[in-house]
Amino acid sequence: MNIMILHENQITPIMDMRIKHNLCLCFPHQTDYFSRSRGWNDVPSDITVVGMDNDDPIAHLGVAIRSIQVDGNDYRIFGLQNVYVVPSHRGKHLVDVLFTELLEYLKGVDLNFGLLFARTKVEHVYTRLGWKRMGDVSLKVKYGSGEVQQRKFIHDHLYFYPFTKTGPPEGPYYLNGPDW
């Protein structure tokens, strides 16, 4: 498997089509959405990590880099989105391989920690990689207009990944922008 780390402007139309195809394959309940978009809430990833088998992106991590506030402090974080391994390659820990490459790449980026929203059924994957499940956290979305809304918790849990900050900050989390 060849690993590629790409910024959005490096995603060719063919790569875009192949990733969307495999997102539809891996998330058939979201085919209508993923047939037209790779991003969460139509916001593309800042970084895309793919494991290639010839020309097929058989494994994928979308990476979002965001700024948030917690208890009046600013943090730069990364998050994962639309993680997949095509069914024929599951069980080989390919996400581990991609995540290890991503962490090496992110050493050159000024980040405080990672945040991840995920379902319980895939928790074993993320805890194996060092993500820690957080307790109850108040999540608020801050819009460009200044409006703040409570974010509905649509996934089962929120996870923390230590980077320069080794533990999750305490207080309400203010997520900037609608792509959460």
The full set of domain ranges for the chain reads 2-176
What is the residue whose two structure tokens read 């309940």? 29
pLDDT value, residue 148:
80
- The whole-angstrom separation of Cα 21 and Cα 169 is 38
Q: Which CATH class is domain 2-176?
A: alpha beta
Q: Which residues of the chain have pLDDT under 50?
A: none
pLDDT value, residue 141:
84
End-to-end CA gap in the chain: 31
pLDDT value, residue 180:
65
pLDDT value, residue 154:
67
pLDDT value, residue 96:
97
Cβ count within 10 A of residue 79: 23
Tokens of 10: 């490096």
What is the residue whose two structure tokens read 């995603």? 11
- DSSP codes joined into one string, 68-110: EEETTEEEEEEEEEEEEE-GGGTTS-HHHHHHHHHHHHHTTS-
Nearest to 46, CA basis, from 98, 5, 2: 5
* Class of residue 179 by CB neighbours under 10 A (exposed 0-12, middle 13-18, buried 19+): middle
Query: Which residues make Cβ contacts (< 8 Å) with residue 91, sequence separation at least 6?
Result: none
- Which amino acid does the sequence have at 111? L
pLDDT value, residue 179:
66
- The whole-angstrom separation of Cα 131 and Cα 119 is 13
Give the 3-state secondary structure of residue 137: coil
pLDDT value, residue 153:
64
- The whole-angstrom separation of Cα 11 and Cα 5 is 10
